[in-house]
Chains A and B, each alone.
Chain A
């Protein structure tokens, strides 16, 4: 942090000012000229919040993707299919048992187990052959998409959250003052999105701790840096591979349940989330968990703010960010060069 400020004093100052303005915009009661300039505060606050919660969902999908890539150099283009599979499984479980929460561990375990099968029976057979693995994952994603279309059809599936999670809650953010009584108007926000955000933060922090504070994490990080050297030291690298693949796949499956709850599950979602996670990890940096978190929030914010303030070009904005990052920092915001 201090090192960054020492090296880039000007940039630090700009970032500091931007953050200060943002905090002021979130907490202050907007003066009329600002409302006249960019619209009501309620819209702005919602766009920011929705961007961050959408980023939470993107993070869940992309973190598994980036972890698998970082360790195995395997661009798993079937990752979106794992997301979709998780969503369908989540729907079945939640619908059958009536408990929304049970859908998460079940989706995690089933999709994780599927990931183990993929790793053991497919990817291990072609280790180190990047192009072949990539092509095979495209094939798997197409086959899986058709199988899922065959089983579940083209309908739209919504996973119903439990009643304590549906509807909005009052937050402590003031969006304005009532003219008649002078009371504050507080912002209401869908509670399910708050829970999703909290869950992704918990998972993100847990992953960071796992990677940076435990022995398994040490193994994984060593594998990311130099796979051959790690296996030469006698570590059972194949076991680490299987574990990481299962974990990454399981996360995608869980993200499917989340996505099915506040969006919907249908054919085509696999491609959409594959694309989203690709953009997120390209922006954040391949193989970096912090990068995935940063990229996910940036892309989520770009989509939501874009959809409100310049709807026509909202789709372009995401890719514009990707182009800018690739042009000035090709390894991604948090990625390491080389």
Chain B
């Protein structure tokens, strides 16, 4: 019996290896499946699998062989993962990474591997495509600053906030988010009084909370994952009652679906990002349904997070271009890359095209957290901002003068032109 089983298993293995060699495209995936961004990475993978399910795991007449590699949001773990995928597994295409600083590291790594095409997962640091972009690195999601488009104007004009203090994790993606927020907020007469930065993975915010200024109209929170949950929990315990403004991953499904009461501090918080859960667009609704059908309710969020959507879009972009070149990846994947560069991706969260740096131009959404009848939280659509490019509508020269996002860039000014 055992021998028989063994033979069957070996045969099956041989067969699958044979099939893989004959006609398949190897796709490596980088996602944060460890550390403080674990839940975010898991939903990224769900987005990927939703897209793969819709195309039956095939594109351009070839089977897609998927290899998922875990990272922990640190640049070196991303590079280690990418090296394993590229140099050991010999993948043709890499989808990923998820987190901001990982993206910068993978852009640099992609330059050393010109034979492989990299499609960004959902990492959103501005530098990744703005500074020394890489020929074979494509980003079908907007960066953190683009995700902030419209938010600064909304809180300054509609909410009437005049002074804001920001608190954020000390790395590239949050710099980019605060950058985008500050540009809109300051241009509409707002003032940022203080910017506090905490290390990624901070668990005890007690002292940070005490040092938050109490004479501002609102506090901007640029935290994500476990850090966001810990902050909200301790903020409530400390009796904090300031008005809040959320960064894109602060009010994402990953935080809104955490267990416990901490998240309730977010009800009514304005935010912005590349999607709004309640958008009634038929394409968006169809995508949400596909996501819901692909996984049983206890193994997914009520609706996809922006991370899931990012991986979903990247996978679809890859599949569409593989189709249009009939799976032909010869000649250094030339035809495939040309297709990606000129693709107009009809994504569920609005049409996406790429600029000359292979960076997405797309639609942004201003949202507000609301409580649904069953006690779950979701992001209600407030405003749609179409055609957001990387320079946020500012001319290229003026944008370059502002400088790269960092702890204290940009300066708070009423005009950047």
Contact = CB atoms under 8 A, between A and B. Distances in A.
B68 to A, nearest CB: 14
A267 B38 contact: yes
Contact of B39 (A51, A156, A269, A312): A156
Contact of B239 (A51, A161, A190): A190
Given A192-B237, A264-B226, A264-B233, A155 B208 contact: no
Contact of A266 (B38, B261, B262): B38
A167 B239 CA distance: 5
B207 A46 contact: yes
B107 to A, nearest CB: 25
Interface in B50-71: none
A147 to B, nearest CB: 15
Interface string A28-50: 00000000000110110111011
Given A156-B259, A266-B226, A50 B39 contact: no
Interface string B171-203: 000000000000000000000000011110111
Contacts of B41: 154
Contact of A53 (B206, B229, B260): B206
Contact of A307 (B35, B42, B198): B198
Contacts of B261: 158, 160
Interface in B244-273: 255, 257-262
Interface string B226-243: 100110011011110000
Contacts of A303: 204
Interface string A259-275: 00011101111001000
Nearest to B72: A268
B203 A43 contact: no
Contacts of A51: 207
B230 A263 contact: yes
Nearest to A158: B260
A17 interface: no
Give the contact-size bracket for chain B: 35 or more
Given A46-B206, A188-B239, A307-B202, A156 B211 contact: no
B316 interface: no
B210 interface: yes
B258 A158 contact: yes
A311 B233 contact: no
Interface string B63-93: 0000000000000000000000000000000
B229 to A, nearest CB: 4
B339 to A, nearest CB: 35
Contact of A167 (B237, B259, B262): B237
Nearest to A154: B38
Interface in A300-333: 303-305, 307-308, 311-312, 314-315
A43 B210 contact: yes
Contact of A311 (B39, B42, B196, B258): B196
Contacts of A43: 207, 210-211
Contact of A267 (B34, B236, B238, B260): B34
Interface centre among A46, A156, A190, A303 (most CB of B within 10 A): A156
A307 B34 contact: no
B168 to A, nearest CB: 11
Contacts of B259: 91, 95, 155-158
Contact of B206 (A54, A154, A158): A54
Interface residues of A, number: 50
A157 B260 contact: yes
A79 interface: no
Interface in B101-115: none
Interface in A150-205: 153-161, 166-168, 188-193
A161 to B, nearest CB: 8
Contact of A190 (B206, B230, B255): B206
Contacts of A49: 206
Contacts of B262: 158, 264
Among A43, A49, A166, A263, max chain B CB count under 10 A is at A263
Contacts of B204: 50, 54, 263, 303-304, 307
Contacts of A272: 201, 203
A303 B259 CA distance: 27
Interface in A237-295: 262-264, 266-269, 272
Contacts of B208: 307-308
A167 B238 CA distance: 6
Contacts of A304: 204, 206-207
B207 A155 contact: no
Contacts of B202: 307
Contacts of A42: 210
Interface string B370-403: 0000000000000000000000000000000000
Contact of A193 (B36, B199, B237): B237
A42 B197 CA distance: 19
B231 to A, nearest CB: 10
B210 A47 contact: yes
B328 interface: no
B323 interface: no
B36 A268 contact: yes
A176 B199 CA distance: 30
Given A167-B239, A193-B237, A311-B196, A156 B258 contact: yes
A153 B42 CA distance: 9
B170 interface: yes
B304 interface: no
Contacts of A268: 34-36, 38, 226
A307 B207 contact: yes
B203 to A, nearest CB: 5
Contacts of A95: 259
A95 B261 CA distance: 12
A187 B198 CA distance: 23
A46 B236 CA distance: 15
B225 interface: yes
B258 A155 contact: yes
A50 B207 CA distance: 6
B211 A39 contact: yes
Contacts of A262: 233-234, 237
> What are the 6 closest A-B residue pairs judged by CB atoms, nearest first?
A158-B260, A46-B210, A50-B206, A154-B38, A168-B239, A190-B237
7 contacts: A157-B258, A167-B237, A263-B234, A266-B36, A303-B204, A305-B207, A307-B208
Given A53-B206, A161-B237, 4 more contacts: A158-B233, A266-B38, A269-B203, A311-B197
Interface of B: 33-36, 38-39, 41-42, 170, 196-199, 201-204, 206-211, 225-226, 229-230, 233-234, 236-239, 255, 257-262
